[in-house]
Amino acid sequence: MNSQVYRYEFLPDVTLKDVEDSLMLSALAVECMHGRSMIRLDAKFRLDLKKRSCVIDAGTEVGRNIAKIFTGFITRQFGEGSFKVERTFPPPETGRDPQPMEAAP
């Protein structure tokens, strides 16, 4: 299985609540394409408020689709220069933290 990850970092003027909303909307859009069970099984992502970053595991088709849609949303909403994104290969740590960002309960 592919274990690539997309890591996004946001400039200070980007509102992280809006980033969170875009991430959840991206997951919802992909849920419409693949179904709720595939989101629960294959979607891994996390928003880190302290680091102003987001990671999306793109090792599955579901994850790649979330990353594509999320990138499109935040580019249109904030502009191309408001964030940077890089492809890395270790999988993101997911888990419940004070501001969790996971697929489905």
What is the average per-residue pLDDT within 72-84? Answer: 97
61-65 average pLDDT score: 97
Amino acid at 66: I
Which residue carries 């088709």 as its tokens?
61
Strand order in the sheet with 45-48: 45-48, 53-57, 5-10, 83-88
Whether residue 96 is contained in a domain is answered as: no
CATH code for the domain in which residue 68 is found: 3.30.70
Q: How confident is the model at residue 89 (pLDDT cuts 50, 70, 90)?
A: confident
Q: For the ranges 13-27, 32-46, 55-69, 89-103, which has the lowest average pLDDT? A: 89-103
The answer to whether residue 14 scores a pLDDT higher than 80 is yes
Summary mean pLDDT of the chain: 87
pLDDT at residue 96 in the model: 36
What is the span of the domain harbouring residue 41? Answer: 5-88
pLDDT tens digits along 22-62: 999 999 999 999 999 999 999 999 999 999 999 999 999 99
- Based on the structure, what is the number of domains in the chain? 1
Q: What is the residue type of 64?
A: R
Predicted structure pTM score:
0.83
Q: Tell me whether residue 10 is in a domain.
A: yes
Contacts of 52 (CB under 8 A, 6+ apart): 9, 10, 12, 14, 16
